[in-house]
Structure 1
Amino acid sequence: MSRIRTLADPDHLPALDRRYAVERPALGLGPADHPPRILLLYGSLRETSYSRLATEEAARLLRCFGAEPRIFDPSDLPFPEQVKGDDHPAVHELRELSLWSEGQVWCSPERHGQVTGLMKVEVDHLPLSIGARRPTQGRTLAVMQVSGGSQSFSSVNTLRLLGRWMRMVTIPNQSSVAMAFKEFENGRMRPSPYYDRIVDVMEELVRFTVLLRPHVDQFTDSYSERKEEAAKVEARLSLDKAL
């Protein structure tokens, strides 16, 4: 079963600049350029998961802004090292989606003042490199959280820390939805300042992703790695001469 959800277009946003949805050059993209590819992760498996519902709202907005969103379903994701070599279909799909992406959205509930274990498991399954390929480095990241009580920023602060460890470019804006059970009805988010903030965050994520796209190689090229590669080349040449 596919873990990618398909979503309908969002309701009309009265202050939306139509150029995002109609004239792609407003994003700085030419007609032949592919839409920004955004992977979205959420951190709860509850039947009524507010982090999932918020993530789905974010995906609707991303599509409206001209991006291609894909939501990963973590319902059968094992713990790291639970399966030998992490050889599990859900792990493979998560990593391939991360490699596919140019930007990501991470949305976690706040539990005991922190991100959920599920959210951490998803991030822990993303290595810094898979051979010469990097699943996260140089990608943009937007962070969001939902809370059962008053507004808090503990989860988004942790997600920012994780994004830094994963060498991602985390955008300045963020979303924290307080008393999330009051903000959703029939699977959709009510109009509110909380919803408007998610619109702002997704708009900013698309902008940063498009601006960064021509320069991604600059963010995945480092002195220490060039030095290590040069040493390997020199060692191979020395071995060839010895033979």
Structure 2
Amino acid sequence: MTDALTLDLPNIETEQFHIPKGEKLNRSFSGHKPRFLLLYGSLRKVSYSRLVIEECARLLISMGAEVRIYNPSGLPLPDDADADHPKVQELRELMAWSEGQVWCSPERHGAMTGIMKAQIDWVPLSLGAVRPTQGKTLAVMQVCGGSQSFNAVNQMRVLGRWMRMITIPNQSSVAKAFLEFDEHGRMKPSAYYNRIVDVMEELIKFTLLTRDNSEYLVDRYSERVETAEQLSQRVNQRSI
């Protein structure tokens, strides 16, 4: 989906981006571009959460990242289909591929949308030896039809913590989103737009700092104890 994006950023001073290049990083760090999965929470023809996500994609690509946007159209309700459904498999593969994520949802009835929640509910904490979300960075955003509020981003922070993700401190809430985009679906210059730039810049920084240590960050004492007990039980069973 990102292939169709126009990547020009006429309202942003890209020379002000402060993202370290690979040669400036510790040599033990990964040299590939940071990988981000972007999710949005509305299927309307004019979806402002999708338009925000597309702006985020342009910014991340301009900052040196690799980006994938997941289209939730056709994703079944959780437990209403098997896990081998193509849209579920696509989502889980992208989750595993990513090193960081951006979630943007409209606020509907004071909460994130069911479309956003369904995407997260299809992703377990672990898939065999693969942990699709644990230790990965997350930025949360919302769009509002009226005055600015933070109900959806607060809920998504809870979800991010539950999925054992590193949810960055900065966030974005765009009030009266229908006023913030032009006829071409591009975000107008504003404090809201600058805030989104700040969030994307912070997301990349946190990702570069943590992606090579994600396994260490989610390594838990209780899980090590459980693994040791299971190993001991298998050894005892073999010796009987």
TM-score range, shorter chain: over 0.9
In structure 2, what is the equivalent of residue 196 of structure 1?
A: 194
Shift of 1:129: 0.4
Greater alpha carbon shift after TM alignment, 101-110 vs 32-41: 32-41
- SS where residue 188 of structure 1 aligns? coil
Aligned to 2:89: 92
Structure 1 pair 165–187 and aligned structure 2 pair: CA distance change class (3 A)? same
Q: Secondary structure at the match of 1:160?
A: helix
C-alpha contact 1:27 1:210 (8 A) present in aligned 2: no
Q: How far does the alpha carbon of each residue in 1:156-208 deviate from its partner, in whole angstroms, 9 at most, with x for none? A: 00010110111100000000000000001111101111100000000000000
Structure 2 partner of 1:106? 103
Q: Structure 1 CA distance, aligned partners of 2:39 and 2:151?
A: 18
Whole-angstrom distance in 2 between the partners of 1:137 and 1:38: 14
Query: 1:9-88 residue pairs with structure 2 within 5 A?
Result: 9-12=7-10, 13-14=12-13, 16-17=15-16, 20=19, 24-25=21-22, 28=25, 33-84=31-82, 86-88=83-85
Q: 1:44·1:116 contact (CA, 8 Å) conserved in 2?
A: yes
State how far apart, in whole Å, the 2-side matches of 1:18 and 1:117 are. 35
What is the CA–CA distance in structure 2 between the aligned matches of 1:37 and 1:153, rounded to whole Å?
Answer: 27
TM, length-normalised to structure 2 = 0.93
| Counterpart-to-counterpart distance in 1, 2:17 and 2:44 | 36
Cα 1:95–1:27 change in 2 (3 A) is farther
Matching residue of 1:133: 130
Mapped contact 2:17–2:201 kept (Cα < 8 A)? no
What amino acid does structure 1 have at the position aligned with 2:111? Q
Answer yes or no: is the 8 Å Cα contact 1:145–1:156 preserved in 2: yes
Structure 1 residue 218: deviation in Å?
1.4
Compared with structure 1, are the counterparts of its residues 18 and 202 closer, same or farther at alpha carbon in structure 2 (3 Å cutoff)?
A: closer
Q: Determine if the alignment matches structure 1 residue 170 to structure 2 residue 170.
A: no
8 A Cα contact 1:19 1:26, kept in partner = no
> What percentage of aligned pairs have identical amino acids?
57
Alignment partner of 1:145 is 2:150:
no
The question of whether the paired residues in 2 share the 8 Å contact of 1:10 and 1:61 is answered with no
Q: CA deviation at 1:29?
A: 7.0
1:10 offset after TM fit, Å? 3.4
- In structure 2, C-alpha distance between the alignment counterparts of 1:15 and 1:55, rounded to whole Å: 18
In the aligned structure 2, how far is the partner of 1:163 from the partner of 1:18?
A: 26
Q: SS of the residue aligned with 1:184?
A: coil
CA offset at residue 128 of structure 1? 0.4
Match of 1:216 among 214, 217, 224: 214
Match of 1:115 among 90, 106, 112: 112
Contiguous gaps of at least 5 residues in structure 1: none
Amino acid at match of 2:70: F
Tell me how far apart the structure 2 counterparts of residues 34 and 165 of structure 1 sit (CA, whole Å): 28
Partners of 1:53 and 1:187 within 8 A in 2? yes
Q: Mind listing any 5+ residue stretches in structure 2 that lack a counterpart?
A: none
Structure 1 CA distance, aligned partners of 2:15 and 2:80? Answer: 46
Structure 1 position 16, deviation (Å): 3.6
Supply the distance in 1 between the matched residues of 2:22 and 2:181 (Cα, whole angstroms).
Answer: 34
Q: Deviations over 1:115-151 (max 9, x none)?
A: 0000000010110000111011100000000000000
- More moved, 219-228 vs 46-55: 219-228
- Aligned-residue Cα RMSD (Å) equals 1.8
1:214 Cα deviation (Å)?
2.5
